Amino acid sequence: MSEPSFEPSPLAPRRTPEEQARDRNRGVGSVVSHQAAHQQFAEEVEYYLSLTPRQLPSRYFYDELGSALFELISRLPWYRITRTERRLLGAHAGDIFARMAPLSTLVELGPGNGEKLATLIAGRSHPGMSVHLVDVSGAALEAATRALTIHTDLVLSAHQASYETGLAEVTREQRTTGRSLVLFLGSNIGNFDPPGADAFLRNVRAALTGGDAVLLGADLVKPERDLLLAYDDPLGVTAAFNRNLLVRANRELGADFDLDGFTHRAVWNADASRIEMHLVSARRQRVRVPAARLDITFEAGEPIWTESSHKYRQNDVHAMLDRAGFGAIEQWVEDGFALTLAEAR
Ligand code: AVI
């Protein structure tokens, strides 16, 4: 399959290249009211399902059920990103804080349930350190705040906002003179396409000053068999996570996707260095999505491309950070996963 075509469809308002990069990358949309969020979901489904090949943006995986399914994925023996990263964070926290001294501000973009940050700060006191959690999901912010409340020496702020807006808020609020560290973990970077990842890191760099840093978690290229097991697990949890997009479209947009009519497929695209997830139509079938003004006939075998998860070589991570204006200080690697600390130049 070729790179996704992000040419605006005749159904969608024409977007600037910047807007397109923002649109297609998870978590970078703006936070809006419930009604506006519904409208945005409808418009994006209309736009992306009208592309060739048909697509659905992976950021819509994370409704309440999707977030719970992702938590389950992170416990599967075949999906090692979460566990390996936690081990690395626990093992190298001392080193990270020593290298970042005097650290006054920690910002986590997309904190999930807060466990990664909790692992990083466990067993140390950080009197008066400001910790900012940035996420579009109020539920994620609540869970992360709960996971961190035992650390009464921290000054905790939650920002229900896109990464961009949240970072800008943090910069505006900043009163301290120490250094800042931005965490972007879990290989969330891999869900951006390469131009989107570059744009995202450049934004992070623009919000920082020289001497601040980013801690980036990135999953590395590994044998295809291992990658396929991680994204098409024998228990079918990832398949459920993928198909939940259709459940969501049925519930929120009045669509009539037949869940049994779409099969989960994960493929390794070696040329683009990414795992792609698709939902493949099992037969020729008609699907209506009233709120998105769509009436589609899927051919048998026709895919909907739902996610790309890019995998890197250690040097790719350095190069990506370098392009954004960061110089790597240290990279810790274990079990096919790299945690890289890089300083803003
Ligand atoms: C959140 N993100 C980094 C996960 C990944 O590995 O791309 C989402 C995921 N998709 C399938 N399994 C997990």
Using an 8 Å Cβ cutoff, are 160 and 135 in contact? yes
User: What pLDDT shows up at residue 3?
Assistant: 29
Q: Tens of pLDDT along 309-318?
A: 999 999 999 9
- The beta-carbon contacts of 138-141 under 8 Å, at least 24 apart in sequence, are 139/64, 139/67, 140/62, 140/67, 140/110, 140/111, 140/112, 140/113, 141/111
Calculate ∠ Cα 299-304-305, nearest 5°: 145
Using an 8 Å Cβ cutoff, are 237 and 76 in contact? yes
191 CB near ligand 1 (under 6 Å)? yes
User: What pLDDT shows up at residue 27?
Assistant: 42
Regions of the chain with pLDDT less than 50: 1-31
73 CB near ligand 1 (under 6 Å)? yes
How far does the centroid of ligand 1 lie from the alpha carbon of residue 308, in Å?
9
> To test the ligand 1 pocket, which listed residue (184, 244, 307, 337) has its Cβ within 8 A of the most ligand atoms?
307
State the Cα torsion 36-38-40-46 to the nearest 10°: -150
How far does the centroid of ligand 1 lie from the alpha carbon of residue 196, in Å?
16
Taking the CA of residue 219 as reference, the ligand 1 atom at the shortest distance is 6
How far does the centroid of ligand 1 lie from the alpha carbon of residue 285, in Å?
28
User: What pLDDT shows up at residue 173?
Assistant: 80
End-to-end CA distance of the chain: 37
User: What pLDDT shows up at residue 137?
Assistant: 84
User: What pLDDT shows up at residue 19?
Assistant: 43
User: What pLDDT shows up at residue 177?
Assistant: 79
Q: Tens of pLDDT along 259-271?
A: 999 999 999 999 9
105 CB near ligand 1 (under 6 Å)? no
Using an 8 Å Cβ cutoff, are 84 and 336 in contact? yes
* SS3 assignment, position 253: helix
Using an 8 Å Cβ cutoff, are 135 and 173 in contact? no
Residue 284: C-alpha distances to residues 198, 253, 298, 301, 318 (Å)? 39, 22, 5, 8, 45
Residue 55: C-alpha distances to residues 36, 132, 271 (Å)? 21, 33, 20
Nearest CA to ligand 1 atom 11: 231
Using an 8 Å Cβ cutoff, are 191 and 307 in contact? yes
231 CB near ligand 1 (under 6 Å)? yes
> Burial, 28: exposed, middle or buried (Cβ in 10 Å; 0-12, 13-18, 19+)?
buried
User: What pLDDT shows up at residue 32?
Assistant: 55
Measured CA to CA, the distance from residue 287 to residue 257 in angstroms comes to 6
DSSP codes joined into one string, 145-188 = HHHHTT-TTSEEEEEES-HHHHHHHHHHH----SEEEEEE-TTG
φ, ψ of residue 293 to 5 degrees: the values are 55, 40
308 CB near ligand 1 (under 6 Å)? no
Kind plus residue range of the DSSP H or E element containing 328? strand 326-334
How far does the centroid of ligand 1 lie from the alpha carbon of residue 309, in Å?
7
